[in-house]
Amino acid sequence: MSRDHVQSVERSAREAEPSPHAAEAPFLELLARGAAVDAYEEPVLLARAEAQPAARIAALEHAKLLALRVRSELEGRRRREAELSALFETAHDLAGLRDLDAVLPAIVQRARSLLGTDVAYLSLHDAARGDTYMRVTEGSVAARFQQLRLGMGEGLGGLVAQTARPYVTDDYFRDGRFQHTTTIDAGVQDEGLVAILGVPLMLGPQVIGVLFAADRRARVFEREQIALLGSFAALAAAAIDTANLLTETRSALAGLERANEIIQDRSAVIERASDIHDRLAELVLRGGGVHDVAAAVAEVLDGTVEFTESAHTPAPALEASRAEGHAVRYGTDWIAAVTAGGELLGALVLRGHPHLDPVDQRTLERAAMVTSLLLLARRSAAEAEQRVRGELLDDLLDARDRDARLLRERATRLHADLDATHVVLAARLDAPAVDADQEAAARRRLWSAASHLAATRRGLAAARDGGTVLLLPLVRGDSVTDLARRTARHLGTAVHEAVTVGASAAVDDLAARPDAVAAAYVEARRCLDALRILGRTGDGAAADDFGFLGLLLAGDRDIAGFVDRTVGQVVAYDERRGTDLLHTLDAYFACGMSPARTKDELHVHVNTVAQRLERVGRLLGDDWQSPARVLEIQLALRLHRLSAA
C-alpha cells in the first residue's frame, strides 16, 4: 500500500470523526425555533437508530439535557416577563382610566391568560341586595353560570366575600369548607368547573367583589399564582375606586358650577391628578424607580414626598393606612402604605400638607400602588440573580461542570472572581422552630440575607443541607476567623436570630479545581458542628480556632501550623538563645508536672527548673498549665519530636 493511499485513508477517518460541538447543533436549532419538549428526543433516537458510536450518543444526551435546561429557564423568564408586562399594562390602563367597562374585562382576560385557566370571572357586591353578582366573565359558555348571584357565605365566592381572604379548591363538589346551594352547584356544574381560586377585591377593609380563576379539571394552584391573581384583584379594585372617584369628581364639578372660584380650584386639583397619573404611567413604562415616583408626586403636589421603610414609619399611622387602603393623616404629614399581596413594603410620606385635598389624597394612594409594583419588579430581578448565583455555587460544590473557562465566564457575569482567594462558610440558624412552616420561613430569610451579602461582597450563596453555604473572597490582611465572625454577626442581625458560621481554610484557583470547593465545604461543616457541640451558637470560627481539635476538623491536617501556634515561641526562643526549654517541658510532663522529680531527671537545682518554667509561662501565657492547654502542649511537643526525627 502506497504512502499517499495511507495518508488519504487517515485524512478520511479524521473528517468522519464527529466534532465535539456537532452534538450541540441540532439542539441549538430546536431552541432557536422554540420546539416542543418531545422534539429534543429525536436527535438521540436518530443516532441510536443509525448505530452511531456510544461517545456520539453520550454527547447528544448531554447536549439534550443542557438544551432542555436552557429551554426551561427561557420559558420561566418569558413567563415572569409576561406577568410583569401584564401588571404594568394594567397599571397603565388604570392610570389613564376613562371606561370601567373596558378595564375590568382586560384584567379578567389577562388573569386567565397568565394563569392558564379555562375560565376567569369577576363578581361585585350588591349593597342593596346583600349578595354578589357576576360582573365580567372570560371563557364561560353556560348562560346560567353567567347569571349566578352568590349570597354571603354561599359557595366559594361567598366565603371569600364573607371572610375577605383568598380561598382555593382543587375539587369544588367534594370540598365541604363552604356552603353548597342547589342554584350555585347547578351553575358550576353547567360550566363544568372543578378547580376554583377566588381572591377578594378590597377597598380598605371592605370587600367589594371577588376575582376568580377556574379550571374544568383538578388542579393545584401555586402560591405565586395566588399572589398574581391577588395583584390583579388589587388593580381591579383600584379601577373601580378610580371610576367611582371620577364619578364623584364629575358630580362635584356639576354642583360647583354655581361658584366660579371653587370650580377653578377643583379643576386645578383634577388637572394635577391627571398629570401625576400620566407621569406615573410614563415612569412604569420606562422602568423608573421608587424615588422617581416620589419626586414626581412631590412636584405635582408641591410638597416633600419620600419613600420610607416600615421600620422608620410611625407604626399606628402605617397600620391604619394598611387596614383602610387609604392615605391617613399623621400630624402635618400624610402616610400611604405601600403593600403587595398583604405584605407591607414601606410607605410614601407627604410632609407639610395637613389639609390635603381628597383628590390629591387619591393621587398619593395611586403613587403608593405604583411604588409597590416597581418594588415587586425589582424584587423579582434580584431573586432571579440570587438563583443564578446559587446555581453556580451548586455546580462548584457538586463538581458537575469542570470547564474552567465556562466557570469563569459565568462568575464574571455575576461580578465574581474565581481566581481570587476564597473561603467557604457554612451558616445555620440555631433557634428552635415552632413548626415546619416557621422553620421554612426562617431558612428563606437566612438564604435571602446570605444572598444579599454575597452579592455585595462579589461572592456566591446557596441553600444547602438545611442551612446556607457562602463562597466569599478573602481580603488581603483579613483572617478566616474574622471573616467567619463578621458573617455570623451580619446574618444574625439581618434575620434577628442567632446564626452560627463555620469556615474552611482559604482556597485558591477554584475554576481549575472545582472539587476544592466541595472539600472546603466539608471542612466548614465540621467547624459548624464543632461550634454547636461546644455551645458557641451565634459565633463564627475556623479549624485553627479549635487548637488540636482543628487537626481533626481541617481538611489538610496542618500539623506544622498547629505546632507553631502552640509551642512555636518556645522553639524560637531555644533557637535564638541556645537554651533547652523544650527538653525541660518534656521532662516536666514526664515527671507528672512535679518540679522536684523534674530536677532529678535533668540533674539541675530545683530553682533552675522553676526559672525555666517561669520563662515558659511568659512565652506561652499564664494559663499554659490549665488542663486544656496542657493537653495541646503535650500533643504539640510529640508532633515536634516526630517531625524533627
Phi and psi, residue 309, nearest 5°: -70, 160
Rounded to an integer, what distance in angstroms lies between the CA atom of residue 371 and that of residue 289?
8
Q: C-alpha distances in angstroms, 16 versus 4, 93, 378?
A: 18, 60, 51
How much is the pLDDT for 645?
A: 47
Residues 6+ apart with CB under 8 A from 363: 272, 273, 276, 277, 297, 300, 301
Examine the pLDDT at 610 and tell me if it is beyond 50: yes
Backbone φ/ψ region at 592: left (φ over 0), alpha (ψ -120 to 50), beta? left
Segment 86-98 mean pLDDT: 63
Quote the pLDDT of residue 117: 92
pLDDT at 167: 92
Supply the pLDDT for residue 192. 93
pLDDT band at 518 (very low <50, low <70, confident <90, very high): confident
Higher pLDDT, 160 or 397: 160
Average pLDDT over residues 608-637: 80
Q: Is 40 exposed, middle or buried (0-12, 13-18, 19+ CB in 10 A)?
A: buried
Q: In whole angstroms, what is the distance from residue 597 CA to residue 594 CA?
A: 6
Q: Is the pLDDT of residue 13 over 70?
A: no
Whole-number Å distance between alpha carbons of 117 and 131: 26
pLDDT of 562 reads 65
Is the model's pLDDT at 381 over the cut of 50? no
Spatial distance between the Cα atoms of 308 and 337, rounded to a whole number of angstroms: 10
Using alpha carbons, select from 38, 105, 30, 113 the residue that is nearest to residue 79. Answer: 113
Q: Mind listing the pLDDT tens digit for each residue in 218-265?
A: 988 888 888 888 888 888 888 788 877 777 777 777 777 764 555 455
What is each CA distance from 603 to 94, 598, 599, 608, 610, in whole angstroms? Answer: 99, 8, 6, 10, 14
Quick check: 195 pLDDT over 90?
A: yes
Mean pLDDT, rounded, for 537-544: 81
pLDDT digit string, tens, across residues 140-170: 999 999 999 888 888 888 889 888 899 999 9
Is 316 strand, coil or helix?
helix
Of the listed ranges 325-334, 366-375, 387-396, the least confidently predicted one is 387-396
Task: Decide if pLDDT at 409 tops 80.
Answer: no
Neighbours of 412 (CB within 10 A): 11
- Distance of alpha carbon 627 from alpha carbon 608, whole angstroms: 24
DSSP string, 144-191: HHHT-EEETTBHHHHHHHHHTS-EEESSGGG--SSB--HHHHHHHHHH
Higher pLDDT, 580 or 89: 580
What proportion of the chain, given as a percentage, has pLDDT over 70? 77
Stretch 327-356: mean pLDDT? 79
Q: Which long-range contacts (CB under 8 A, 24 or more apart) does 574-581 make?
A: 579/612, 579/615, 581/612, 581/615, 581/616, 581/619
Instruction: Compute the distance between CA of residue 362 and CA of residue 368 in angstroms, rounded to an integer.
Output: 10
Arithmetic mean of pLDDT, 578-595:
84
Q: What angle do CA 46, 51, 53 make, to 5 degrees?
A: 105
Distance separating alpha carbons of residues 93 and 278, to the nearest angstrom: 10
Residue 491's pLDDT is what? 87
Q: What is the torsional sign of CA 95, 97, 101, 102?
A: negative
pLDDT over 80 at 641, yes or no: no
Q: Looking at residue 555, what is its pLDDT?
A: 46
Beta bridge partners of 428: 500
pLDDT-derived band at 377, boundaries 50, 70, 90: low
Mean pLDDT computed over 525-539: 76
Tell me, letter by letter, the H, E, C secondary structure of 577-598: HCCCHHHHHHHHHHCCCCHHHH
Mean of the per-residue pLDDT values of the chain: 77
Lowest-pLDDT range of 151-160, 280-289, 574-583: 280-289
Cell of 273: 391628578
Quote the cell numbers at residue 382: 434580584
Confidence of residue 83 (pLDDT cuts 50, 70, 90): low
Least confident of 151-155, 292-296, 460-464: 292-296
Instruction: Quickly state the pLDDT bin for 386 (edges 50, 70, 90).
Output: low
| pLDDT exceeds cutoff 50 at 635 | yes
